[in-house]
Chains A and B, each alone.
Chain A
Amino acid sequence: MNLDFTPEQEAFAAEARAWLAENVPTERLASMDTAEGFEQHREWERTLASGNWSVVSWPAEYGGREVGITEWVIFEEEYYRSGAPTRVAQNGISLLAPIVFEHGTPEQKAKYLPLMSNGTEIWAQAWSEPGAGSDLAAIRATATRDDARGGWLLNGQKIWSSRAVWADRGFGLFRSDPEAQRHRGLTYFLFPMDAPGITVRAIEQLDGSTGFAEVFFDDVFVPDEDVLGAPGDGWNVAMSTAGNERGLSLRAPGRFLAPVDRLIDLWDERGESEPSARDAVVDSWIGAEAYKLFTWQTVSRLLQGGDVGAEGSINKVFWSELDIHIHETALRLLGPEAELIGDGAPVGGKWAEDYLFALAGPIYAGTNEIQRNIIAERILGLPRGDRRKA
């Protein structure tokens, strides 16, 4: 047992650190959920791609460096430490791409992956519906066969679609067999957001931004070539992304180590005014370290051929609550200045903005209540019971 990295891995970390130090914008970008900020973030994706840092674990032909999972985690740690912008391409590269690699045709890979990795096409996700949130299998938006044109017609409504306001393309699940129940009869579709029949209505969030939207589909035609995986097999296809989102790929340890570093600086600066927050600062550090070490344990298991599976739910509950704890502690240290946002606020209001973002953590990617059910039933083996009985 060890936590030692090879000289090659150390060199990889140093190369990433040096490139990021050189290239990360010194000015904070506008929120990616504004028209201006979205394009700034897209530009940053192009810059990342120009240095071959946008998708380090991917094959070289799609813009990657073909490094292993250890190097990927090392890169993410350097990325967050450097203060680099949030990835506007995340929906595509973290949620969709793993599925394209697993289920996509060679044509789909060639068509989508290079443009995804260089920021040309930013993807929105379209999972939830007004009646299908945590209960994702309750999806009602339909896909009906259009044999004459060789494809499908999408109808219905999606909601809470991240990045949908300015994204170029979208992916989502639609019910292609109205007779089939729940997890069966769903199909995974890819579509341009400006396709005829798509209407996007931005939803203003708690923080005032429009990070997600409602998307209405009115006879939107999607050709067969843009179906991902087999028709009717959409649930199985989609679940490989849910595992990714809950597990490793959405939240690398650097995501928490970096704000804890900043929290310690904030304590050193302002702790005198709120001495009782000290234990919360210490526990934030312990939590971020625990998260890092848990991740290395998971990576070790993956390297031995294991998988993440239901452990991803343990991970998701922990990081989402840790994230809130870190930011609540920062607000305590900021005192009456904690609420300020934008110009005139401490560090431009970053703590307040990130606090609001952290509050969403226990809700998205499967609520923490659903995650706890998964932990109890699939890891601890408690009886599921018949939840749907009236």
Chain B
Amino acid sequence: MMQFLPTDEQTAFAEAIDEIVTANGGADVVQAWAAGDKAAGLALWEQFSELGLGGLRVAEEDGGLGASAVDLAIVFERLGYHGVPGPYIESLAFLPAVVSDEVRAEICGGAMATATYAPFVPYALDADVASLRFAVDGSGVTPADAGDAISSMAKTRTLFPLSGSGTTTAVSAEALDRGFAEAALATAAMLVGAGERLLDEAVEYAKIREQFGKPVGEYQALKHHLANVRVALSFARPLMLRAALDIDSPNRDRDVSAAKVSAADAATLAAKLSLQVHGAIGYTAEHHVGRWVTLVPALVQSWGSTSFHRDRVAAAILNQGA
């Protein structure tokens, strides 16, 4: 029977992630990583590994959790909500679909892995702290060394060019497409989560910040901005969940792309309007809302831009000129 809501188990798993992040300091973890202190973020990675996240999409007989793509989406929505730094998309969503059994077992055991995937992901996220690095393209997966760090506008993201330093293992196009779909779905989910966080931050701030003798949240101009964000996010999430349900269906690429487009647009609106509601304080490095404001445009362009994904939807639904 049709039941298009997360199960109690899925909700409980999402709450477990929330609790771990909160117990470790919440936004302080993000702010510390942005300032160059990665200890708390790496500790968080270890705790998530103990929860089994490294094997989220690895079959139970191979030592993983054997979780579904819906579970993946729900987990990444929470990771986006908390802005958790680290190469989670690469390790948990992309690489498990394309690497060898041995590498998959290492990631499953908690190893941090990162990757490039030409041409969508030209730089590897956090290659300085990852113990495994792979340059992936149509020819296969190549162990790689990291070049010099490049900064991102999102201070929680440090990017590295990779150069192959080992033997390339060929990977089927099917496995690459699967890995890309899982990574794009995870990115869409992170964007939905980041959007929800930006909305929550703006709502809380609008309740306490006073101007002209009353909370700014009483002004309709501001209420309507935030209502528009609520509407956009509420309609992005069901597309993300349907894409997860369709991960093994012929509609996979169409639905993942629709989810990424919708999540990107909703999160972009959330980022702009959340910053607007915060005003000048949101524009400071001191206030943590900026971590999400800058994370969103980075994720929007990662794992396929909005134009790329819109093109894929067009190709699936239009006969002419797609």
Task: Pick from A84-92, A105-113, A123-131, A368-376 the stretch touching chain B.
Answer: A368-376
Measured CA separation A271–B10 after assembly (Å): 43
Give min CB distance, B319 to chain A, whole Å: 5
Number of interface residues of A (CB under 8 A): 53
Measured CA separation A272–B70 after assembly (Å): 38
Measured CA separation A300–B318 after assembly (Å): 31
The verdict on A264 contacting chain B, using a C-beta distance below 8 Å, is yes
Task: Pick from B86-94, B236-244, B284-292 the stretch touching chain A.
Answer: B236-244
Q: Which residues on A sit within 8 Å (CB–CB) of B2?
A: 2-5, 9, 70, 296, 299-300
A3-B2, A297-B4, A382-B217 known; A317+B227 contact, CB < 8 A: yes
Task: Pick from B23-31, B113-121, B309-317 the stretch touching chain A.
Answer: B309-317
- Find out whether the CB atom of B321 lies under 8 angstroms from the CB atom of A3: no
The verdict on A343 contacting chain B, using a C-beta distance below 8 Å, is no
- Kindly identify, within residues 288 to 333 of chain A, every residue whose CB is under 8 Å from any CB belonging to chain B: 289-291, 293-294, 296-297, 299-301, 303-304, 311, 314, 317-318
Q: Which residues on A sit within 8 Å (CB–CB) of B226?
A: 376, 380, 382
A264-B318, A376-B227 known; A300+B234 contact, CB < 8 A: no
- Find out whether the CB atom of B321 lies under 8 angstroms from the CB atom of A271: yes
A264-B318, A300-B4, A382-B206 known; A286+B227 contact, CB < 8 A: no
Q: Which residues on A sit within 8 Å (CB–CB) of B1?
A: 2, 4-6
A286-B262, A296-B238 known; A278+B318 contact, CB < 8 A: yes
Q: Which residues on B sit within 8 Å (CB–CB) of A369?
A: 220, 224
A373: nearest residue on chain B (CB-CB)?
Answer: B223
Q: Which residue of A6, A271, A300, A375 is within 8 Å of B230 (Cβ)?
A: A375
How many A-B pairs have beta carbons closer than 8 Å: the answer is 154
A374: nearest residue on chain B (CB-CB)?
Answer: B227
With a 10 A CB-CB cut-off, give which of A275, A278, A289 has the most chain B CB atoms: A289
The verdict on A279 contacting chain B, using a C-beta distance below 8 Å, is yes
Measured CA separation A293–B246 after assembly (Å): 13
Write the B263-297 contact mask toward A (1 if CB under 8 angstroms, else 0). Answer: 00000000000000000000000000000000000
The verdict on A207 contacting chain B, using a C-beta distance below 8 Å, is no
- Find out whether the CB atom of B310 lies under 8 angstroms from the CB atom of A294: no
Give min CB distance, B2 to chain A, whole Å: 6
Q: Which residue of A9, A272, A282, A290 is within 8 Å of B320 (Cβ)?
A: A272
Give min CB distance, A257 to chain B, whole Å: 12
Q: Which residues on B sit within 8 Å (CB–CB) of A3?
A: 2, 4, 242, 245
Q: Which residues on B sit within 8 Å (CB–CB) of A379?
A: 230
* 12 contacting pairs across A/B (C-beta < 8 A): A1-B3, A5-B1, A293-B242, A296-B4, A371-B227, A372-B228, A373-B224, A376-B223, A376-B224, A377-B223, A380-B223, A381-B203
Per CB-CB distance, the 8 closest pairs between chain A and chain B, nearest first, are: A376-B223, A293-B238, A385-B218, A372-B227, A375-B227, A382-B217, A290-B235, A296-B4
Interface contacts beyond A286-B258, A314-B234: sample of 18 additional A-B pairs, CB < 8 Å, sorted by A:
A1-B10, A5-B2, A267-B318, A268-B320, A275-B321, A279-B310, A282-B318, A283-B310, A286-B313, A289-B242, A290-B235, A293-B4, A293-B239, A293-B241, A300-B2, A318-B235, A380-B203, A380-B226
Could you tell me which A residues sit within 8 Å of B by CB distance?
A: 1-6, 9, 70, 264, 267-269, 271-272, 275, 278-279, 281-283, 285-287, 289-291, 293-294, 296-297, 299-301, 303-304, 311, 314, 317-318, 369, 371-373, 375-377, 379-385
